[in-house]
């Protein structure tokens, strides 16, 4: 079963007299454990699309199903609960909580979002810190580590709850190229290890090489899809 | 829950200076209130104690209408015969009564054989008076305190002693009008000088009740007032109500009340000062509430504003609105607790120090009163609970705002 199914998905922003059609009716579906990127120039609607999939922003019209659940009209609290249960987030600015250590940042979703018992939490956090290569930095605070390291911690935090889907909006925009490609490699490696679906957006053509499935967005329209290695995508715009 | 406290505490620690400054403001407020309550309470208790224990007693019974004409010390409004029997019987039945003293109050001419002046006198039975006004002997500036007074002796007020240049051991003459209009005189020896205190009867002299009877040529049992001391002043309203019920119901043939009863509060002007102190305490508490409210709200509004991005992050990754609400409320709560804890400790220590250093003060004509501030557990608990509750209330609005933030807008905020 697809992790994400979108049909005739539309998002229109209205502010005053101005209407911005950020997403103009797109159809796609994303299969489990795939590694997907949305590529497009600035303003093409990548963030808008990811926010809708991430249950942060409801679509104006159309059908959107994530993790087997229709999410077009969830209440605030239900949307939060849904995100906490099914979706991991990686942010462009890393967005670690400054007053928590690396360990505690990864632990946060297990403690404050899902309520895991202490012992299991500890085990799971160590497992993830190990997987992203940050096991020896657990006691440091975000201000004491580099940008690349922060994003590794963020990857661990996104994966720690066994989310079916990890969404990353331009996760490498604030990293140098070398670090960026390492983060992309890490995410891919995590996909292999945990079978999590990764969806990320980027406007940087150079890091797309390592991506398996690419959707190109232009002016709110999903132009085409490219399948470089796998065949796990269904779209109507081929 | 514990991690909400952990996060809140860490965030407070992140802005050390601000947290400390706000807490100090609360501390200052708490110290001001607690010290004011302690000092004013001690002052009040001291003054009330002085007034009731050295003069008025807690309750006084007179014949109806006596107090209204007390300035002339009328002898024709004394309690007599059966009325006194009834009072004695009712007081014997009342458990709350520690002791009572029956007094004749009179005015007389006072002569030192050179000059003559007026004097107001309280005539008492010394054993009863000592039990009813145990601090009375403390007012003796000169003379033997033991046994208070014997027949043929007089205690004269300080001002009169000075004005008439009379010393302990001097002989004087009292001349008084009797009820029937005749005049009678009697010599007395000055046994002691009484310190004056504020309030009615505070500058009166004192003689033995038997001397008063012979001076006034009173044969039967007759007194002007009955002063009553209670075992526990906190029981005053209850005891007063019971006595009022029993004695107030006794009527004359014309249907008017026979007795009138007053608590010390009605008799002493200090009661209004005590009321003022209570009012001031109330306003200081209001100021404390305002300080806590404004300072915590101000800090919490800032805290939320500074952390919009963080709120967006934790909201996006699935933290429920109620938890975000709790996070910020707990921050305000902790700041309130910090401020009150320090404030309470400082206050209690200060109170202890004041007691050790034995601060004395003057009030009116009384000098060297010992201030011994104390504060009840109930007062401390009340102030602490109030401040902490206000801290939470002040955090509500900013916390609510944080919890309702749209994650996308919050994440976009720079
Ligand atoms: N909250 C909003 N209100 C109005 N217009 C918006 C809003 N968010 C995005 N847009 C507009 O929608 C379009 C797509 O934006 P976005 O999804 O952020 O693109 P990208 O992430 O690819 O840069 C842009 O034209 C942008 O100006
Ligand atoms: Mg974007």
Cα A193–A195–A199 angle (5° rounding)?
110
Q: Shortest CA distance to B60 belongs to which of B93, B91, B85, B81?
A: B91
* Paired tokens of A154: 């963020």
- Name the domain count of chain B: 2
Is position B206 within any domain?
yes
- What residue's CA is closest to ligand 1, atom 5? A13
* Paired tokens of B232: 């526990």
Q: Which domain holds residue B107?
A: 65-257
Residues B253 and B116 in one domain: yes
User: Final residue of a domain: which of B199, B232, B257?
Assistant: B257
Is the separation of the CB atoms in B174 and B188 below 8 Å? Answer: yes
Residues B89 and B231 in one domain: yes
ipTM: 0.92
Residues B153 and B293 in one domain: no
Closest Cα in chain A, distance from residue B413 (Å):
12
Q: Give B394-407 pLDDT, tens digit per residue.
A: 999 999 999 999 99
Is the separation of the CB atoms in B117 and B160 below 8 Å? Answer: yes
Q: Give the span between the Cα atoms of B125 and B173, in whole angstroms.
A: 21
Q: Shortest CA distance to B125 belongs to which of B64, B201, B197, B210?
A: B210
pLDDT band at A236 (very low <50, low <70, confident <90, very high): very low
* Paired tokens of A145: 């580590």
Residues B92 and B228 in one domain: yes
Backbone angles phi, psi at B303, to 5 degrees: -60, -40
Q: Give B272-294 pLDDT, tens digit per residue.
A: 888 888 899 899 999 999 999 99
Residues B172 and B81 in one domain: yes
Residues B96 and B171 in one domain: yes
Residues B342 and B233 in one domain: no
Per the CB < 8 Å rule, is B321 touching A77? yes
By C-alpha distance, the chain A residue nearest B324 is A112
Residues B25 and B131 in one domain: no
Per the CB < 8 Å rule, is B316 touching A54? yes
- What atom in ligand 1 is closest to the CA of residue A42? 23
What residues does B157 pair with on adjacent strands?
B194
Q: Give the span between the Cα atoms of A63 and A29, in whole angstroms.
A: 11
User: What mean pLDDT is predicted for residues B58-80?
Assistant: 86
Give the nearest partner residue to A99 out of B11, B320, B323, using CB atoms. Answer: B11
Cα B47 to middle of ligand 1, angstroms: 75
Give contacts of B323 with chain A, Cβ < 8 Å: 112
Contacts of B243 (CB under 8 A, 6+ apart): B59, B61, B90, B91, B94, B228, B261
Per the CB < 8 Å rule, is B313 touching A108? no
Q: Decide if A58 touches B, using CB distance below 8 A.
A: no
Q: Give B9-49 pLDDT, tens digit per residue.
A: 999 999 999 999 999 999 999 999 999 999 888 888 888 88
Q: Give A62-99 pLDDT, tens digit per residue.
A: 999 999 999 988 888 899 999 999 999 999 999 999 99
User: Final residue of a domain: which of B204, B222, B257?
Assistant: B257
Q: Give the span between the Cα atoms of B81 and A158, in whole angstroms.
A: 97
Residues B298 and B384 in one domain: yes
Residue with tokens 């911690």: A153
Per the CB < 8 Å rule, is A99 touching B3? no
Is position B158 within any domain?
yes
User: Final residue of a domain: which of B257, B283, B302?
Assistant: B257
pTM of the model: 0.81
């Amino acid at each position: 079963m697809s992790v994400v199914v979108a049909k005739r998905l539309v998002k229109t922003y209205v502010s005053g007299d101005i209407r911005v059609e950020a997403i103009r009716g797109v159809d796609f579906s994303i299969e489990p454990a795939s590694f997907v990127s949305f590529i497009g120039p600035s303003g093409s609607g990548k963030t808008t699309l990811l926010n809708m999939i991430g249950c942060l922003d409801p679509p104006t019209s159309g059908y959107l199903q994530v993790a087997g659940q229709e999410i077009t009209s969830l209440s605030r609290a239900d949307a939060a609960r849904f995100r906490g249960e099914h979706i991991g987030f990686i942010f462009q600015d890393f967005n670690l909580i400054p007053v928590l250590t690396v360990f505690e940042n990864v632990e946060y979703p297990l403690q404050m979002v899902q309520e895991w018992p202490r012992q299991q939490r500890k085990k799971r956090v160590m497992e993830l810190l190990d997987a992203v290569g940050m096991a020896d930095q657990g006691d440091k605070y975000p201000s004491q580590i580099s940008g690349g390291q922060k994003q590794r911690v963020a990857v661990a935090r996104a994966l720690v709850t066994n989310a079916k889907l990890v969404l990353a909006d331009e996760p490498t925009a604030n990293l140098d190229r070398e670090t960026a490609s390492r983060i992309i490699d890490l995410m891919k490696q995590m996909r292999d290890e945990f079978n999590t679906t990764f969806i990320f957006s980027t406007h940087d053509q150079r890091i797309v090489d390592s991506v398996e499935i690419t959707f190109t967005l232009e002016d709110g329209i999903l132009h085409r899809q490219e399948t470089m290695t796998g065949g796990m995508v269904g779209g109507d715009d081929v | 829950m514990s991690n909400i406290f952990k996060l809140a505490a860490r965030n407070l620690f992140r802005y050390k200076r601000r947290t400390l400054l706000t807490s100090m403001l609360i501390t200052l407020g708490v110290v001001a209130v607690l010290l004011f309550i302690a000092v004013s309470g001690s002052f009040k208790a001291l003054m009330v104690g002085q007034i009731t224990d050295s003069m008025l007693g807690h309750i006084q019974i007179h014949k109806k209408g006596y107090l209204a004409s007390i300035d002339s010390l009328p002898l024709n409004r004394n309690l007599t015969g059966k009325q006194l029997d009834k009072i004695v019987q009712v007081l014997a039945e009342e458990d709350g009564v520690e002791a009572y003293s029956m007094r004749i109050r009179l005015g007389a001419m006072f002569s030192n054989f050179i000059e003559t002046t007026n004097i107001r006198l309280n005539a008492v039975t010394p054993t009863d008076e000592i039990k009813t006004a145990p601090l009375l002997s403390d007012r003796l500036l000169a003379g033997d305190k033991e046994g208070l007074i014997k027949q043929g002796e007089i205690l004269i007020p300080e001002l009169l002693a000075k004005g008439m240049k009379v010393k302990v051991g001097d002989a004087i003459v009292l001349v008084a009008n009797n009820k029937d209009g005749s005049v009678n005189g009697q010599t007395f020896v000055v046994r002691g000088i009484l310190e004056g205190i504020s309030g009615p009867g505070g500058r009166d002299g004192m003689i033995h009740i038997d001397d008063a009877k012979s001076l006034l040529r009173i044969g039967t049992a007759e007194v002007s007032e009955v002063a009553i001391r209670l075992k526990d002043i906190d029981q005053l309203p209850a005891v007063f109500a019971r006595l009022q019920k029993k004695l107030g119901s006794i009527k004359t043939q014309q249907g008017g009340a026979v007795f009138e009863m007053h608590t010390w509060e009605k008799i002493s002007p200090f009661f209004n000062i005590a009321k003022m102190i209570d009012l001031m305490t109330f306003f200081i508490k209001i100021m404390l509430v305002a300080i806590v409210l404004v300072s915590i709200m101000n800090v919490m509004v800032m805290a939320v504003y500074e952390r919009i991005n963080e709120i967006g992050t934790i909201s996006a990754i699935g933290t429920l609105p109620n938890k975000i609400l709790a996070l910020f409320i707990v921050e305000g709560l902790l700041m309130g607790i910090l401020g009150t804890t320090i404030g309470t400790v400082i206050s209690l220590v200060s109170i202890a120090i004041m007691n050790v250093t034995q601060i004395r003060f003057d009030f009116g004509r009384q000098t060297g009163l010992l201030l011994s501030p104390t504060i009840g557990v109930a007062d401390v608990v009340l102030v602490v609970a109030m401040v902490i509750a206000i801290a939470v209330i002040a955090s509500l609005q900013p916390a609510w705002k944080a919890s309702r933030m749209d994650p996308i807008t919050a994440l976009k905020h720079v």
